[in-house]
Amino acid sequence: LGDDQTAVSTEIHIAVESERNLCQLRHPNIVRFLHIAQLEHASVVVFMELLDGRSLERFIDNKPLDEPKIRDFSEQICRALLYLHSRQPPVIHRDINCSNIIVCADNTRIQLIEFGLSIKLEQSVSHISASTQSPKGTLNFMAPELLGAGESDSERRAPALPDGRSAELRDFYSRCIAKDRRERSFALELLEHEFLLGSKL
């Protein structure tokens, strides 16, 4: 059992260090990680702030959001991602979806949660390669390049926006879901997009 115990201890150490790094995050649109404790029997407990709100998935509840609300929430998400990606080394969430975004009780502020799949992006080609070869996250929200070769283009296609949405929102959305990663915008680029700047011009 010696090798197995060593492997488990190593994994626990990595998990603890990863969560401790999350405890350093300070951003209004990211849940606060307060403390991490390692217990017996290879258990790790993470304490986070208690949020008063509901998931974006429940907030929408089949009722479409108007464009000002889409703009507001999108800007907050982009600012949170820019903060994470600007850290040294960058923190990559890897599972941004409606169930992992909390709309606070005032219905104006959102917070990213569920960092269980997040990684610190090491400056190592082998590490980056390994992370892309073992994709993790919610299937319907994964980048196309992380999916297997078995899915057809129709199965990979992102949902279309409903009729009546502005050209600015459609362009913003297309830059988020572009199949070619080279055409997909970074958080900073999205923050400079005319859709998000519309209310400030």
Strand partners, 36: 46
At 119, phi and psi to the nearest 5?
-135, 155
Any idea which residue has 């201890």 for tokens? 9
180-194 burial, b at 16+ Cβ within 10 Å, e below that, comes to eeeebbebeebbebe
For residue 86, give the H/E element and its range: helix 67-86
Q: Please pick, among 95, 106, 153, 171, the residue that the annotation labels catalytic.
A: 95
Contact 40, 12 (CB under 8 A): no
Q: Is 153 a catalytic residue?
A: no
Catalytic residues: 95
